[in-house]
Structure formats: C-alpha cells, structure tokens
Amino acid sequence: MLSLLLTAGIWFAAHDVSQRLMDQTLKAELEDYMARRARNPNSLPPNTVGLRGYLVAHDAPRSEIPEPLRGLAVGQHEISIDGIPHRAAVAERDGDRYLILFSEERQKRREQRFLGYLVAGAAIMTLLAAVGGLWLAGRVIAPVTELARSVSAAPAENPPRMAVEGEPDDEIAELAGAFDQYVTRLAAFVARERAFAADASHELRTPLAVIRGAAELLAEDGNLSAAQTARIARIERAATDMSDLLAALLLLAREENAPIEAQCDAAQIARECITRYQPLAASRGTTVALETGEAVRLPVPAAMFAIVVANLVHNAVAHTSNGTVAVTLDSARLSVRDTGIGIRDDEMAQVFRRYHRGPESSGAGIGLSLVKRVCDRHGWHIALDSPPGGGTIATLEFGA
C-alpha cells in the first residue's frame, strides 16, 4: 500500500511539474515571438517539431488558422486537433492575435513510459520488501515459535527447561525464564494436587469399606426396628456415595487428554442408583421409575456415570414430596423428570456453580457442579428446565 501511494504521488508530482514547465515554455516562446516581431515586423512565428506559432493580423480572417484555435480567448488552453492533444497559448497586441501551439503527443508518450517505469519499480520494491519482511519476521519470530513448541510439547510431569537460542539477557530468553518459573510452580502444584487425591482416596477407601461392611451386617439383624433399618440403609447409602465420589474425583484429577479405556453398563448403573434412593423416596411419599428399552453402554468409567445419575436422582427425590420421579435412558440421552418444587428463574443460571445452594437445598452445593465437570470432561451436554406447572427436567445428551 505504501509503495502504491508513493508511486501515485511521484506520478502526479511529475505530471504537475511537466504541465507547469510546458506552460512556462509556451509563455516564454510567445513573449519572445512578440518581442521579435516588435523589432522586425517580418519575423516569422516559431515552427519546430513540437512547437508551432500562428499570427492573425487585425485585418486578416481567422480562417487561416486551424479551426480549434479560432475561438480561443487570451490565455492558455488544452485542446485536441485531429485527435492529438495540444497545449495552446493565446495573446493579443495592437489588434494582432498571437498563438503558440505545442503538441503533447511526445510528452504523453514520455509520461506513459515514466509511469511504466514507476509501476515496475514499485512492483519490484514491493516484492523485495515482502521477501525481506518475511525473512526478517522469520528471524524475529523463530525464538518465539521455538519457545511455543517447547511449551506445547512439555509433559505435565517433570517438564524440561525452556531453552531458546539467543543472548542470555535478551527479551526471548527472559520470557523463557519466566515460563520456566511458572511451569515449575505449576508442576509442583499439580503434583501436590494429585498426591493429595491419591492419598485421600487410599486413606478413605478402607474406612468406607469397613463402614459399608458393618452396615450390611447390621442390616441382616432381624431384631432391628423399622427406624433402625432405615438409619442403617442411610449409612450404607452415604458410604456408597462417598466411594463413588472418590472414584470420580480421582478420574477428574487426571490430565484431560489422558486416555481412559473403560466401558460401563449405563442401564445397570441407573437401576442401582434408583434402588439406592428408594428408601429416601419412600420416606417422602415419592415413587421412582426407570424406563429403558435397550442395553446402553457408554465408553466411560462406571464411577463417572454413577456420580452423574446419583446426583440427578438424589436432587429429584430430595425436592419432590408425594410425587413421581421418572428416569428415561436410551443410547442418546438420559432424562430425569420430577414433579417437585422446581427451580426459580433467578436460580437457574446459578445451579451449576460450585458451592451454590438453593433455598430448599440441604447439601454442600457441589453435586451439580461435579455433574457439570463430568459432562464437560466427556463432551456431554446437560440442561435443566423447570416448566411453569412445577417440577424439573434434567436432560443429559451423550456426545457422539
């Protein structure tokens, strides 16, 4: 663009200078001829290859000069004779009319050649500038590109030092050093988080297994009252929920791109979750039903799908009294519909936020947040809808 603007500027400047010089030449030739004729009345007007003069005496007809010149006023004019552009200068003295005609044909050809040289020069300069700019940009960007490749290829554990070519005190080396410090801190943070998750899971699995085993043994005691049996079932259900939660958290703590080869029977998991919450539903006068017409297998760990179904079913049961919870499962989606109190419009945008609790909730506010994380991890889409008539519909669309 700059080359084009410069070329256009040079062209218009050269054209303007050429026109000014032409006008000055015509004026000088006209004044010179008038001065010569004043000294010698028989002096002839100029007649060269590009310049031709005419004299029309006060008593002579104008038919002796070319027709385009006859009606010209005193001054300078741009005219065309037989299709050829001319520049004309006209003056009068003592009733005589003086005319100087300059053919612009040769001048136009020179200007066209000059324009061709300008365009060719601009094209060459643009090409050279582009090649030079690309080369220079490559030289400047090469260290940044190298640093970007190093950062992208660095493993999450034990990342290598981000070394780039160049002086130790230049800007790129300083940037690489900053990346080194940041990656080191990040790797240490990730290592601490993974160690905590692994240690917590290991330390909690045994107590949870003991709690579940003890609850199962207590449930087999035939001398328990109905209230005691319900309490033991609640203990067993909480221990199972905690086991599933630990397994899901461990899987979520892994790197997102880490491959997880697993398959789960989605229908069986849904049945187990519904069975787990049947006592809670019965205590609230609510019925829970599952509708699935086909064997549904999902390429995810069982703990991941279990934590999603368990949270959705538990929320539906916990917010429904003397109603129904309908769970529908097929290969494309999971739907949990209840006839409970529903979700207010001002709460709908907040339900997936961590630690958000609704006005009727008794939990810690991490259930639906955890569900959303699991869905995002596996490319699923979850949506909640609360119709005007009451109740809530949770729809989980499985990714392709």
- Segment 91-97 long-range contacts (CB within 8 Å, at least 24 positions apart): 91/30, 91/34, 93/34, 94/58, 95/57, 95/58, 96/55, 96/56, 96/57, 96/58, 97/55, 97/56, 97/57, 97/58, 97/62
CA dist 348 and 252 (Å) reads 25
Task: Write the pLDDT tens digit of every residue in 222-232.
Answer: 788 888 888 88
Give the model's pLDDT for residue 312: 92
Give the model's pLDDT for residue 364: 44
CA dist 223 and 105 (Å) reads 123
Q: Could you give all domains of the chain from N- to C-terminal order, each with its CATH number?
A: 2-110 (no CATH), 181-258 (1.10.287), 260-400 (3.30.565.10)
Task: Write the pLDDT tens digit of every residue in 369-382.
Answer: 888 888 888 889 99
Give the model's pLDDT for residue 224: 80
Mean pLDDT taken over the chain: 79
Task: Write the pLDDT tens digit of every residue in 158-204.
Answer: 666 655 555 555 677 777 777 777 777 877 777 787 777 777 777 77
**In the structure, what pLDDT confidence band is assigned to residue 359 with cuts at 50, 70 and 90?**
low
Q: Is the pLDDT of residue 337 over 90?
A: yes
**In the structure, what pLDDT confidence band is assigned to residue 304 with cuts at 50, 70 and 90?**
confident
pTM for the model stands at 0.52
Strands 287-292 and 324-329: parallel
- E strand spans, 248-306: 264-265, 287-292, 297-298
42 φ, ψ (degrees, to nearest 5) = -95, 5
DSSP designation for 131: H
Both tokens of 121, joined, read: 């020069």
Task: Write the pLDDT tens digit of every residue in 45-96.
Answer: 888 777 888 888 777 776 667 778 777 888 888 888 887 888 888 888 888 8
Q: Are 300 and 378 in contact (CB under 8 A)?
A: yes
Q: If residue 279 lies in a helix (H) or strand (E), which one and from where to where?
A: helix 278-283
**In the structure, what pLDDT confidence band is assigned to residue 322 with cuts at 50, 70 and 90?**
very high
Strands 75-81 and 84-93: antiparallel
Place of tokens 């780039």: 164
Give the model's pLDDT for residue 70: 78
CA dist 329 and 309 (Å) reads 11
CA dist 69 and 349 (Å) reads 86
Q: Is the pLDDT of residue 145 over 70?
A: yes
Give the model's pLDDT for residue 77: 84
**In the structure, what pLDDT confidence band is assigned to residue 2 with cuts at 50, 70 and 90?**
low
Provide, rounded to the nearest whole percent, the portion of the chain with pLDDT above 70: 86
Q: Is the pLDDT of residue 327 over 80?
A: yes
- Segment 43-50 long-range contacts (CB within 8 Å, at least 24 positions apart): 45/98, 45/100, 46/100, 50/102, 50/103, 50/106, 50/107
Q: Are 355 and 369 in contact (CB under 8 A)?
A: yes
Q: Are 337 and 326 in contact (CB under 8 A)?
A: yes
CA dist 310 and 371 (Å) reads 10
Could you tell me which residues come within 8 angstroms of residue 71 by beta carbon, excluding any fewer than 6 positions away?
none
Both tokens of 81, joined, read: 């004779």
Give the model's pLDDT for residue 365: 47
Give the model's pLDDT for residue 20: 79
The lowest-confidence range among 8-22, 135-149, 249-263 is 249-263
